[in-house]
Amino acid sequence: MLHEMSSVDFAGWIAYARLEPWGEEAADLRHGYLGMRLAQCMGVKNVAPSDFMVDWDELSRRRAPDSDLKTLNPGDEMLRFLLSRGVKIRVEPRKEKAGARPQG
């Protein structure tokens, strides 16, 4: 494709990507922003979208085995983050729905 594109067109696409990002980096930023807002709703101060974004460079340096990725629970990561920021979390026992069968 680059063989068929002029440098002016290529520079135009670069400028457009800076104004309206697309792709995985933009998706990571959107999810980071959502995580930031959820944390703020729970009372966390001084939080940024980057606190919730995967550092892909660091992850590739660590070379985590696939088994680690399969057992990763995003809820646990969020809980750890909130607790590290001093958020007090109250865990209440689950209430069974009327008519629900007991598990066991």
More confident residue, 88 or 60: 88
Q: What is the mean pLDDT of residues 34-55?
A: 89
pLDDT digits (tens, 9 = 90+) for 49-64: 998 887 777 666 665 4
Distance in angstroms (rounded) separating the CA atoms of residues 39 and 24: 22
Tokens of residue 32, six digits: 């980071």
The structure's pTM equals: 0.49
Q: What is the mean pLDDT of residues 74-90?
A: 72
Model confidence at 45: pLDDT above 80: yes
**CB contact set of 34 (below 8 Å; sequence gap of 6+):** 52
Distance in angstroms (rounded) separating the CA atoms of residues 38 and 42: 7
